[in-house]
Amino acid sequence: MDIQANLKEVIAELPTNVRLVAVSKFHPAEAIEAAYSAGQRIFGESKEQELSGKHEQLPKDIEWHFIGHLQTNKVKYIAPYIAMIHAADSYKLLVEINKQAAKHERTIPCLLEIHIAQEESKYGFTFDSCREMLRTGEWKNLNNICIAGVMGMATNTEDETEIANEFHSLKVFFDELKQKFFSDRPEFKEISMGMSHDYPIAVKEGSTMVRVGSKIFGDRNY
């Protein structure tokens, strides 16, 4: 696995306005160091313990993004340092992130995870539940989080039209939320979509952040 060559290949294909989250979950610190040496600074992880270990061990200018499902009882461990939480999937989780961020006098950028795939999933707001949550306006009192955009995952399928339609639906929804709830909030600007097998499609559909793992680091050993 030539991590640095893979990384360069991915970056070369990305428009300059699209940021790369290098998803390093299940890969050792040495793999992250290789990407770090090639200039990569944003890394994505999805398990709190694994992330906290890597955070302790690795350079402090790494921007750690939490990309997986986050249990409320784990928030306190990552609140001191996490740079972005991609999968805020309930109001309860936003409240907990806000509470823990306040303890550290931080403001943590969070993305609202939206369920856009055909597949069943326990996680993510539906379009309607997200609108409903924002309409109450209670989130405006959460001063230690910053709702910075949306995140979604397309169906795991070979059907590229289906994938494009799902990513398109997230872009349209982002535009709706921007206009209805965030027109005065320039920080609401991110659309996190696209993984190893579908990020070129996501970029065409308006992604601002892609989360790419196996294409850079190889297959994961679970």
d(CA 157, CA 20): 22
CA 186, 134, 82 angle in degrees (round to 5)?
60
CA 90 to chain centre: 15
- Nearer to ligand PLP by Cβ, of 79 and 151: the residue is 151
The three-state DSSP-derived secondary structure of 134-162 is: HHHCHHHHCCCEEEEEEEECCCCCCCHHH
d(CA 42, CA 204): 22
Q: Is 195 in the site for ligand PLP (CB under 6 A)?
A: yes
CB 43, min distance to ligand PLP, A: 11
Q: Is 24 in the site for ligand PLP (CB under 6 A)?
A: no
CB 160, min distance to ligand PLP, A: 16
CB 140, min distance to ligand PLP, A: 27
The torsion defined by the Cα of 137, 138, 143 and 147, in degrees rounded to 10, comes to: -60
Of 164, 220, 174, 219, which is closest to residue 194 (Cα–Cα)?
A: 164
- Nearer to ligand PLP by Cβ, of 41 and 197: the residue is 197
CB 138, min distance to ligand PLP, A: 26
Of 6-14, 29-37, 175-183, 205-213, which part binds ligand PLP (CB under 6 A)?
205-213
Of all residues in the shown chain, the one whose CB is closest to ligand PLP is 213
List binders of ligand PLP among 136-175 (CB under 6 A).
Answer: none
Q: Is 211 in the site for ligand PLP (CB under 6 A)?
A: yes
Element (H, E) at 112: strand 108-114
CB 85, min distance to ligand PLP, A: 11
Of 102-110, 135-143, 168-176, 194-202, which part binds ligand PLP (CB under 6 A)?
194-202
29-37 and 48-57 helices, crossing angle to 10°:
50
d(CA 147, CA 139): 9
Which of 68, 200, 206, 218 contacts ligand PLP by CB under 6 A? 68
Which of 31, 85, 116, 212 contacts ligand PLP by CB under 6 A? 212
CB 173, min distance to ligand PLP, A: 18
Of 32, 101, 111, which is closest to residue 67 (Cα–Cα)?
A: 111
Q: Please give the residue ranges that form the binding site for ligand PLP (CB under 6 A).
A: 23, 25, 46, 67-68, 195-197, 211-215
